[in-house]
């Protein structure tokens, strides 16, 4: 299935190229997000709250990937799908988040 957005389809293919099943694809996205974050927090919002995206993990089959978010000095976990990156965020990270969302729809 294609999105009609060749760059997003290509990014999904690049991330999941060596994967044999959904679990491996989800793990590949975790690695890709880790490479983009590289230990540096990224400004984001979730349900209107300003946070910092500090990591991504596997939330399992039902939850998908989860974001570790820092808000007011505390770390919270939420569905990565619901995170909105701040304007001016790294375009590669923004494209990866868009690719992950599209991958979830498949």
- Give me 42's structure tokens: 């990224």
Q: Where are the domains of the chain?
A: 6-105
pLDDT digits 0-9 by tens, 39-94: 899 999 999 999 999 999 999 888 899 999 999 999 999 999 999 999 999 999 99
* pLDDT above 90: residue 3: no
Is residue 69 a contact partner of residue 46, using CB atoms and an 8 Å limit? yes
pLDDT digits 0-9 by tens, 19-54: 999 999 999 999 999 999 998 999 999 999 999 999
Reported as a pLDDT band with limits 50, 70 and 90, residue 9 is very high
Q: What is the 3-state secondary structure (H, E, C) of 73-85?
A: CEEEEEEHHHCEE
- Overall pTM surpassing 0.85 (yes/no): yes
The label of the residue with tokens 């300003």 reads 50
**What is the rounded distance in angstroms from the CA atom of residue 41 to the CA atom of residue 62?**
26
**What is the rounded distance in angstroms from the CA atom of residue 15 to the CA atom of residue 83?**
20
């Amino acid at each position: 299935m294609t999105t009609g957005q060749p760059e997003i389809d290509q990014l999904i293919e690049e991330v999941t190229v060596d994967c044999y099943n959904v679990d491996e694809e989800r793990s590949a996205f975790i690695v890709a997000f880790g490479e983009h974050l590289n230990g540096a927090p990224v400004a984001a919002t979730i349900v209107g709250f300003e946070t910092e995206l500090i990591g991504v993990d596997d939330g399992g089959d039902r939850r998908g990937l989860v974001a570790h978010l820092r808000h007011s000095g505390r770390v919270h976990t939420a569905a990565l799908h619901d995170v909105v990156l701040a304007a001016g965020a790294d375009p590669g990270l923004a494209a990866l988040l868009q690719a992950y969302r599209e991958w979830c729809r498949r």
